[in-house]
């Protein structure tokens, strides 16, 4: 295990198939919704169940909360029950986007539900294959369970709390989107281009090295401290376009030992949906 939040392919290979490990394939292609189910059907880590971002890790019926609204805890509990999860099973999530779509999202949802036995496969399925580990198209047989979790409300940041924290300068907001979207130069998805006034920019891809794995903790710590200065990590709130890749920055901070930050789940798609909310363009301010 690389850390208690990231595991290596070697670590997982030694435990895949064990009854106390649940592997979840979280792959998602936002441009081609049919791709991830097809890729899972063709080849996945043996024993892995599949998580669908739009169905299992979001509730698209909840309006005003962004493009990937957080489901309520009861719906998430039913999802985990369908996968056969019980509290003594360690969840290992993976995808093919360095953890950003949407393994880190599942890890974060488990975290705010109080589940500590969860981690992301560092490097995802690419790292798994690079080490010559087997893949299969077989769908595992699952024995459903019945679990009932709740989300820690203190871990969830809403519109009012975020706006107040920015006014009081008690919140440091970090936007995980690519620089061009953050600066408002392009906006392919949401109502308006730009960012929440006062937000800093840290594209989630900066958390990864050239191999697609997370950088070492000391390197990540230096980079995040250069961004937030001496501000308390517990005052940091992460956002992105829809509350998915923001979880990648939170995971990176935790991996770096900068503990306690949170996620604004509605993110830019939620914030920008209301024309009354302010918008800023251009570069971030330190």
User: Does the active-site annotation cover 240?
Assistant: yes
Contacts of residue 172, Cβ cutoff 8 Å, sequence gap at least 6: 200, 228, 231, 235, 236, 237
Contacts of residue 169, Cβ cutoff 8 Å, sequence gap at least 6: none
Contacts of residue 153, Cβ cutoff 8 Å, sequence gap at least 6: none
Strand 6-7's sheet: what is its strand order?
6-7, 118-121, 90-94, 21-25, 49-50
CB atoms within 10 A of CB 196: 22
Q: Which 8-state DSSP code applies to residue 280?
A: B
Residue 215: alpha-carbon gap to chain centroid:
17
CA–CA separation, 107 and 110 (whole Å):
5
**Beta strand extents in 12-151 (DSSP E only):** 21-25, 49-50, 90-94, 118-121
Contacts of residue 34, Cβ cutoff 8 Å, sequence gap at least 6: none
Among residues 74, 243, 264, 245, the alpha carbon closest in space to that of 166 is found at 264
CA–CA separation, 27 and 22 (whole Å):
16
CA distances from 226 to 36, 76, 80, 97 (A): 36, 36, 38, 25
- The residues annotated with a catalytic role in the active site are 240
């Amino acid at each position: 295990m690389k850390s208690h939040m990231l595991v290596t392919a070697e670590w997982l290979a030694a435990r895949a198939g064990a009854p106390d490990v649940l592997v979840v394939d979280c792959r998602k292609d936002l441009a081609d919704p049919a791709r991830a189910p097809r890729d899972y059907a063709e080849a996945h880590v043996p024993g892995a169940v599949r998580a669908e971002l739009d169905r299992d890790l979001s509730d698209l019926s909840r309006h005003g909360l962004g493009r990937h609204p957080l489901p309520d805890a009861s719906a998430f509990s039913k999802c985990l029950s369908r996968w056969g999860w019980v509290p003594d099973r360690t969840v290992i999530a993976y995808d093919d986007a360095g953890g950003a779509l949407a393994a880190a999202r599942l890890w974060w949802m488990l975290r705010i539900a109080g589940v500590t036995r969860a981690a992301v496969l560092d490097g995802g399925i690419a790292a798994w294959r690079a080490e010559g580990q087997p893949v299969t198209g077989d769908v595992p047989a699952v024995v459903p369970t019945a679990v009932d979790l709740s989300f820690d409300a203190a871990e969830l940041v809403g519109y009012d709390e975020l706006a107040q924290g920015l006014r009081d300068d008690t919140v440091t907001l970090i936007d995980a989107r690519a620089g061009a979207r953050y600066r408002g130069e392009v906006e392919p998805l949401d109502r308006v281009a730009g960012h929440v006034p006062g937000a800093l920019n840290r594209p989630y891809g900066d958390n990864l090295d050239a191999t697609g794995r997370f950088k070492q903790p000391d390197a990540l710590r230096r980079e995040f401290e250069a961004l937030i200065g001496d501000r308390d990590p517990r005052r940091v709130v992460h956002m992105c376009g829809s509350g998915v890749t923001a979880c990648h920055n939170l995971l990176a901070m935790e991996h770096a030992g900068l503990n306690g930050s949170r996620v604004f789940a509605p993110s830019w798609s939620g914030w920008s949906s209301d024309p009354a909310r302010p918008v800023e363009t251009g570069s971030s301010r330190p």
